[in-house]
Structure formats: C-alpha cells, structure tokens
Amino acid sequence: MANITAASLHFEGNFHGDLNTLLFRVDFTIQFRENEAQVQFEEAARLREHDPDDDDLITAYPLPHKFNAGLSRTEDRFLKIVVLRDQTNTEIGTEELQGEVWLRRVGNNLASSEVITPILKFP
C-alpha cells in the first residue's frame, strides 16, 4: 500500500483576514507502489494539540478528499485545515500543535497510512 512520509505542519496565517480564524497546512509526501499508478485514493487531515499525558483533538477528520495517483511513484501533497482561534487554546502559554494525516485506497475501509507531524509551537 501507499505510504505517507515527510509530513510537516505549517501556520499559514489568518483565514481571509479574519483574526478569529486560523489556517494551517499539512505538507506530506506519498510513496506509491508500482501497481498504484492512476489508482483512486482518499486523504484527510486533522489538527491536534500535543500533551505529555493526553493529546487533545482540535478538529475531527473532515470528509476525505479523493484523488487519482499520478504516474510517479512519489507525489508531494498538502491539505489545509481551518480552525477558530479559540479551538487552538487548550492550555496556558504556547500550544504544541500537530497535524495528523491519513491515506487510504478507495474501497478500503482502513487507513493505509496514518502519520502525525512533528510539533509546531504556536503562537
């Protein structure tokens, strides 16, 4: 099955200039097997806050986005996450946010690959 590698989370700024809405982007690379060219996949990303004892989910996975794998065995992709500023405020001080992205082949009920990004200190 295809595999997600090199995932990272980035803060893009305020969504459409709204100070109460934040835009994050999860960048990742997918490595496909030879037999997965032109196969349809689904992908989704959510935002979480890292805690030593218990991670908080800031967003749920949205409806997955479908795409067809290209002819290349490696493909760089990104997904955007929009949240209200208050959703990211889970504790006093700096938040430690992570993106979580999953990938699955259409028709398969289980995620083929699921990866959590390194921590992004915010703000």
pTM passes above 0.95: no
**CATH number (domain holding residue 89):** 2.60.40.10
Element containing residue 118 per DSSP (H, E):
none
Residue 54 pLDDT class (50, 70, 90 cuts):
confident
Report how many domains make up the chain: 1
Closest CA to 79 of 121, 20, 37, 30: 30
- Whether the per-residue pLDDT at 109 is higher than 80: the answer is no
Residue 111 pLDDT class (50, 70, 90 cuts):
low
Domain that holds residue 111: 3-122
pLDDT at 91: 74
How far apart CA 119 and CA 78 sit, in angstroms, is 17
| CA distance readout (Å), 112 to 32, 75, 101, 106 | 11, 16, 11, 10
